[in-house]
Amino acid sequence: MKKIFTLISVAFVAMSVHAQEIWSAAEVDVAAIISAPVDNSNPNIKKIEAVYETDPGTEAVLAATNAVQNTLQDYVFTASTASITLKGVSTPNSDASAEEAWQMNGGEETNMALNTDKCTPKFPNYIKPKAGNPAIKSIEYYFMNDNGDQVGPRYAEIYWTEGCGQVPVRGCYYELSAASAGTIKLGVFVNKGNHATYIVDKATGTHLAASAIDVEFYYQNNTFTFDDNGTTIDMVTGKMPEDFIIQHTNGYTQNRPALGYMTFDVEAGKTYYVFNPKSQLGIYGFYFAGGGSGIANVKTEMEPNAPVYNLAGQKVSKDYKGVKVQNGKKFM
């Protein structure tokens, strides 16, 4: 089986005696993912074989009794460090191209990269799908418009809501499985400024409390914001807002994309789903510290003249092309 990408684990400047691991989305081979879809035949994914005379609306489709099994294509990538296994899933609509499943975005020289001095760790790129909002139930259907043309496929879907006790069966979501207890700092790109982002325990279908999640982020295309007194704030930091809309941290209401981190503790043997139920969610990578050490606001002292190494441990110049390690940190 062809490897989708090469795993790279880099040791960071020691902050505890526990394991510390990192993975970057920049390592994902998008072309390899697109070339190897897998069938998604979850029983909650259905289709209606008849064509409606007019658009019946979402509620009517969800109430239909003539729906049959539908099979969509999932495009999946996986990554593993010693303690964490990550699986990213994207399920495009049946009329979408494979290229819409995953797209690499950002880059070191753009304002969509987590590469400023206040970003720890630094991530150059994020990966996200073009379409495919996650849902716990989905029904595909067609209908005729006023001109007599067939329209579709359209999708009637039920998105995850608090208390539903389920996890997504299609769309864009990420599974994080922990072999050891510790703290994960997850780099994310939240596309919509009015949609919530959740971390859900797979076993129970319940989400982590807002108070259990630390967030740090910038607004896209605006690397700073202002408080009520007009004072510049380089990065918005705080707890996840009670409405789980990251952009509302500390009472801000900017309706624009955000890029930054969500930090939370994980338990050994548990799997967590991370998703935005009404929008796509991009991921930059993750940093894991074993033992639940709490790394949300850790700052490390950087030595600008420290030697630079490649991933083979060989000393290289700062002009070296590829992944480099300096001060225990990996960058492109």
Q: 27-49, pLDDT tens digit by residue?
A: 999 999 999 999 999 999 999 99
Q: How would residue 223 be classed by pLDDT, with cut points 50, 70 and 90?
A: low
pLDDT beyond 70 at 240: yes
* Predicted local distance difference test score (pLDDT) of residue 75: 96
* Predicted local distance difference test score (pLDDT) of residue 17: 39
Residue (of 5, 8, 19) closest to 178 by Cα position: 19
Give backbone dihedrals phi and psi of 25, rounded to 5 degrees, phi first: -65, -20
Buried b (16+ CB within 10 A) or exposed e, 201-227: beeebebbeeeebbbbbbbbeeeebee
Q: What is the mean pLDDT of residues 283-290?
A: 95
Q: How would residue 268 be classed by pLDDT, with cut points 50, 70 and 90?
A: very high
Q: What is the mean pLDDT of residues 130-153?
A: 93
* Predicted local distance difference test score (pLDDT) of residue 3: 36
Please tell me which residue, 221 or 95, carries the higher pLDDT value.
95
Portion of the chain with pLDDT greater than 90, in percent: 64
* Predicted local distance difference test score (pLDDT) of residue 313: 46
Tell me if 213 sits within 8 A of 239, measured CB to CB. yes
CA gap 86, 80 in Å, rounded: 6
Q: What is the mean pLDDT of residues 271-287?
A: 95
Residue (of 104, 106, 76, 109) closest to 90 by Cα position: 76
- What is the full DSSP assignment across 110-169? STTSB-STT-SS-B-EEEE-SS---BSEEEEEEEE-TTS-EEEEEEEEE---TT-----S
* Predicted local distance difference test score (pLDDT) of residue 156: 95
Instruction: Give the torsion sign (CA, 256, 259, 263, 269).
Output: positive
What is the overall mean pLDDT for the chain? 83
Which amino acid belongs to residue 205? G
Residue (of 294, 320, 316) closest to 307 by Cα position: 316
This model's pTM is above 0.75: yes
Q: What is the mean pLDDT of residues 287-313?
A: 55
Would you say how long the chain is, in residues? 332
Q: What is the mean pLDDT of residues 323-330?
A: 55
- Tell me, what DSSP letter sits at residue 229? T
Residue (of 97, 74, 98) closest to 87 by Cα position: 74
* Predicted local distance difference test score (pLDDT) of residue 12: 34
CA gap 227, 236 in Å, rounded: 10
Can you count the helices (H) and strands (E) in the chain?
2, 24
DSSP lists the bridge partners of residue 308 as 316, 326
Please count the other Cβ atoms lying within 10 Å of the Cβ belonging to residue 195. Answer: 18
Which amino acid belongs to residue 238? G
Domain ranges of the chain: 20-38+77-127+167-300
Q: How would residue 312 be classed by pLDDT, with cut points 50, 70 and 90?
A: very low
Instruction: Give the torsion sign (CA, 31, 91, 200, 254).
Output: positive
* Predicted local distance difference test score (pLDDT) of residue 110: 81
pLDDT per residue as tens digits for the range 73-105: 999 999 999 999 999 999 999 999 999 999 999
Q: 3-state class of 20 per DSSP?
A: strand
